[in-house]
Amino acid sequence: MVNSHADRLKIGSLTGKTGIITGANSGIGLEAAKVLAQKGAMVVMAVRNEEKGHAARETILKMHKDAKIEVMKLDLADLASVRAFAKDFSSRYTSLDLLLNNAGVMTPPYSKTKDGFELQFGSNHLGHFALTGLLLPLLKTTPHSRVVTVSSLAHRGSSILFDNLDGSKGYKAMKFYGQSKLANLMFAQELDKRLKEHGIQTISLACHPGVSATNLFKFGRSEAPKLFKRMMNTVLQPAEMGALPTLYAATEPSLTGGEYIGPNGRGRVRGYPSIDTPHFVANDEEAMKKLWELSERLTGVEFDFTK
């Protein structure tokens, strides 16, 4: 079924536009891909599991037989994979209108990425940081391009644990998830600031889905029990609604960069998208600058802001 909620956003034709969505095989990423494809965009589904990616692609093609969709391998927990993806994409495409940094892992047992980073910080933040930096040359040369990074309400009251980023001094899954989502939000804001300082027309925005019933909700490594999932689906908004802030951030003409978009309902948990206000912890300019410099050092990716 087409996302009828998205009709309220009045998204115009995206024919001729090219977009990348990380984690596009399920949840919010898949819902966003459906709408962008329906509107005529060329959608690249950047996914870790290519089999699931192709199954998701078939789902979209059954809805829109003329949809332009490609599946490409991307493992955000492996910087070599991030580099390979960026190189492959840049060799095949001459423009990039939308980069949706959507994929995420939530509250896994303590584990690390291929490069030795704590999994949530490494995948949710560092992987997307590196991907954006590597694709910046294409973004810069594409008129009115946008980077949208998905954060979370979990950023509220979180902090960047600069003295324990790898979790070696203690690990609490939810605390480290909040850290990764705060890092996403700080990155989106700092990126927009730097783009504007260098006179680059690309804009960066952040968004959050409220609380959505997506497959991020897992217990350990196993799916949530069916009874719990049914309960979640009645209390929380569905992925079709959770995707609206992402779609709004990606397409709303009035946005100028630096905004944080979320649902407009009570507690910002449900509803239709509007501009939200980040928790004050996300406005620490010193921490944002420190996080940026640390991220460049850890990933080996430096952003080239020259025109």
pLDDT at 230: 55
What phi and psi values does residue 293 have, to the nearest 5 degrees? -65, -40
Select which of 93, 171, 177, 272 is catalytic.
171
Distance CA 86, CA 99 (A): 12
pLDDT at 60: 97
Q: What is the mean pLDDT of each run of 10 residues along the chain (307 residues)?
A: 79 97 96 97 98 97 96 98 98 98 95 97 98 98 97 90 96 95 97 98 95 51 49 68 95 97 83 90 94 98 94
pLDDT at 125: 98
Domains of the chain: 4-299 (3.40.50.720)
Q: Is 171 a catalytic residue?
A: yes
Q: What Cα–Cα distance (Å) separates residue 174 from each residue in 68, 151, 232, 298?
A: 37, 14, 18, 23
pLDDT at 213: 59
pLDDT at 274: 87
Q: How many residues does the chain have?
A: 307
With beta carbons less than 8 A apart as the criterion, state whether 103 and 151 touch. Answer: no
pLDDT at 111: 96
pLDDT at 228: 46
pLDDT at 270: 77
